Structure 1
């Protein structure tokens, strides 16, 4: 994801939405720790065919288009 979204795009999204965006380089160990200890991030961008089944099996994903 670091190459997908530029810092300028993040700033514009924050300005338009009023939502603070924090990007964290993907680290599965840190992400698992956040999920079990601190609570998962509000939004996670991953590789759908690889990451989605993993998180679905652990019941930590939520449908966003309801």
Structure 2
């Protein structure tokens, strides 16, 4: 499976697929025709085909610590 530019790393792909798999397990309709009964595989296939996209939130910039003397 090739990673899209919108995916920062494999970890973000796994997190996105896990979230979508939970939706499928809770009754969401699959967005693609598939022979797999496994929600995780269906979620990965949906992401790979571009049917499901997810946004990795930007980390807020860390405030510089204030030193009080």
The verdict on a shared fold, with TM-score over 0.5 as the criterion, is no
* Rg (Cα) greater in structure: 2
Greater fraction helix: 1
Structure number with higher relative contact order (C-alpha < 8 Å, ≥ 6 residues apart):
2
Relative to the length of structure 2, the TM-score reads 0.25
TM-score (normalised: structure 1): 0.26
